[in-house]
Structure 1
Amino acid sequence: MLSLKLPQLLRIHQVPRVFWEDGIMSGYRRPSSSALDCVLSSFQMTNETVNIWTHFLPTWFPELESPGLSKILRTAAFTYPFLFDNLPLFYRLGLCWGRGHSCGQEALSTSHGYHLFCALLTGFLFASHLPERLAPGRFDYIGHSHQLFHICAVLGTHFQLEAVLADMGSRRAWLATQEPPLGLVGTVATLGLAVVGNLLIIAAFTASLFWGPSTWWPIGGRYKGQTTVRPHF
């Protein structure tokens, strides 16, 4: 009978420093894992399992060469869509405040409020590394900030869609008098631009994999430039 051995998990001092997460002491996957190991780890409890199953996002970001830039890019990947998607809402609120009075329930529904709260909480969790920073090693598998960040992001998206549907219902008549309905050509053109933009982003980051220096391959069981570090627990 065919049996598969699950990949060995490592502690923080057994992986290169670039892979360290604040407050996460164990449950790390081996950086040189094979494709089979990566698939098997999706069904093994590691400190990334919950993240893997809460969303599937293909990423390569310059993590090894420029971890600081990678952090900025990952943050911008969430900040930019949030600001872009909410420009109509911010514009509407700006008009209301500019008049010196409230526009009532239609300006900021309950779903809008929940959405903005979840968005702020998502950013806070991503930047603060709480609660694992307060108790290193206690939240390696369940409950660390990246998992909570995913949950808040999903909830925020849900409330955002609920708010959009509420806006469509309450403002359909007004919108119909302001702008003509978007036809098939406009819909296809918008979809095409989105697809082309995404393909360009994927192509740019894929090309960087071939142009950038490969400094992370294991050499004699260790990693180039890695020194043995014994953290204090």
Structure 2
Amino acid sequence: MLSIKLPQLFRFHQVPRVFWEDSIISGYRHPRSSAWDCVLSTLQMTNETLNIWTHFLPTWYFLWRLTALSSSLDFLSESYTWPLLVYMLLICLYPFTSSCAHTFNTMSPEARHICYFFDYGALSLYSLGCAISYGFYVMPDCWVNSWLHRYFVPIAVGNTLVCTGLSCYSRFLELDFPHKSKILRTAAFVYPFLFDNFPLFYRLLLCCVGSCAHSQAVVSHCHYLIFAFLTCFLFASHLPERLAPGRFDYIGHSHQLFHICAVVGTHFQMEAVLQDMTSRRSWLMAHTDVPSFLGTIGTLGLAFLLNFALIGLFSATLLWAPNRSTSEVKEN
């Protein structure tokens, strides 16, 4: 009978510091795991297992939604749908990349950093997808054709480089400056979030004072923001494991919870974008230019190349630097 021997697990003091997680005591995989061992570890309970599956399974949900939309919308020739296509591709990409990063990050200290470089890059591109869809479908009526509206997407491309650059750079600081590293990484993701959602904040403010019609899209946007703030809180606080180190090593620690909140928030965001795209179509088509290939898919391609080059630069610095002390950085 075929038998599979699952990889051995370790406590935090048995692995190099680079692999330590804040307040997580046990459930660590071998720090020099093979790719096959990493795949096998997805079938046993480690402190990473639910991190992997809470993003791998939603990837298939978002792919299913994209497939369903492709059967009802003409993504090939109808340019009005291109911002949605970009957004949908990126909400499939970021959880898949995260799942891969959590699966293969124990192959070596260097591999751990590079896996998370790609994870950060996918998240920054997701922020661009949000900006593109918001710029064309969610922008408040009174801001349409304004200076911000015209330059919203180009600024968002620059924001992706700031996000990827700061978050990757923060990994080089964690050993000597852990608090500064945490602040930089948090700021790297909070800044594009605030920029992308600034038009939404203003639109919801108008609704609060009775200057806009309350719609299902507004309700979905509010649900999205609630889960987005929960995601940020869990990422920054490391609760609940910080209150009881070792009790939440396998189930219930903050990284798992913030993965779940992020995915649920993305679901509500997707529904809100779809509702705005449908309900505001006539008005938007009459008052603004239709989306262009260059402003949507072309912009995504450019941002992808720039971010990939930036990740390559950080990876080369990590691998070729004579001083490998950064390999002792721990992932928070």
TM-score range, shorter chain: 0.7 to 0.9
| Closer, same or farther: CA 73–63 of 1 in aligned 2, 3 Å | closer
Does residue 214 in structure 1 map to residue 324 in structure 2? yes
Deviation string 1:92-144 (CA, Å, 9 cap, x unpaired) is 346x28x9654241597111111010011111111111111222222111111
DSSP-derived class of the 2:116 partner: coil
Query: TM-score scaled by structure 2?
Result: 0.57
| Alignment check: 8 A CA contact 1:89 1:107 kept | no
| Closer, same or farther: CA 134–101 of 1 in aligned 2, 3 Å | same
Deviation string 1:59-78 (CA, Å, 9 cap, x unpaired) is 14467742236534543453
Deviates more, 1:107-116 or 1:134-143: 107-116
2:197 corresponds in structure 1 to 86
% identical aligned pairs: 61
2:226 corresponds in structure 1 to 117
1:1-233 → structure 2 map (5 Å cutoff): 3-53=3-53, 54=55, 55=95, 56-57=97-98, 58-60=115-117, 61=168, 65-67=172-174, 68=178, 70-72=181-183, 74-93=185-204, 96=206, 101-106=210-215, 109-212=218-321, 213-215=323-325
| Alignment check: 8 A CA contact 1:47 1:141 kept | yes
| Closer, same or farther: CA 19–72 of 1 in aligned 2, 3 Å | farther
1-side partners of 2:296 and 2:194: how far apart? 22
* Aligned residue type for 1:160: Q
1-side partners of 2:287 and 2:24: how far apart? 53
| Alignment check: 8 A CA contact 2:10 2:29 kept | yes
| Alignment check: 8 A CA contact 2:7 2:41 kept | yes
Deviation string 1:36-95 (CA, Å, 9 cap, x unpaired) is 33232222211011112224333144677422365345434532442243232134346x
How far residue 198 of structure 1 moved from its aligned partner, in angstroms, is 2.6
* Aligned residue type for 1:14: Q
How far residue 3 of structure 1 moved from its aligned partner, in angstroms, is 4.8
DSSP-derived class of the 2:267 partner: helix
Work out which of the two has the higher radius of gyration on C-alpha atoms and give 1 or 2. Answer: 1
| Alignment check: 8 A CA contact 2:6 2:44 kept | yes
| Closer, same or farther: CA 14–170 of 1 in aligned 2, 3 Å | same
Query: TM-score scaled by structure 1?
Result: 0.77
DSSP-derived class of the 2:243 partner: coil
2-side partners of 1:30 and 1:114: how far apart? 40
DSSP-derived class of the 2:266 partner: helix
How far residue 156 of structure 1 moved from its aligned partner, in angstroms, is 0.6
* Aligned residue type for 1:105: H
Gaps of 5+ in 1: 218-223, 225-233
| Closer, same or farther: CA 149–188 of 1 in aligned 2, 3 Å | closer
Deviation string 1:136-180 (CA, Å, 9 cap, x unpaired) is 222111111100000000011111111111212222222112212
Aligned length: 216
| Alignment check: 8 A CA contact 2:173 2:326 kept | no
DSSP-derived class of the 1:161 partner: helix
* Aligned residue type for 1:26: S
2-side partners of 1:130 and 1:188: how far apart? 39
2-side partners of 1:197 and 1:63: how far apart? 19
Gaps of 5+ in 2: 56-94, 99-114, 118-167
* Aligned residue type for 1:66: L
From the two aligned structures, give the one with the greater helix fraction.
2
Deviation string 1:174-211 (CA, Å, 9 cap, x unpaired) is 21122121234544432322222332232222222223
| Closer, same or farther: CA 167–209 of 1 in aligned 2, 3 Å | same
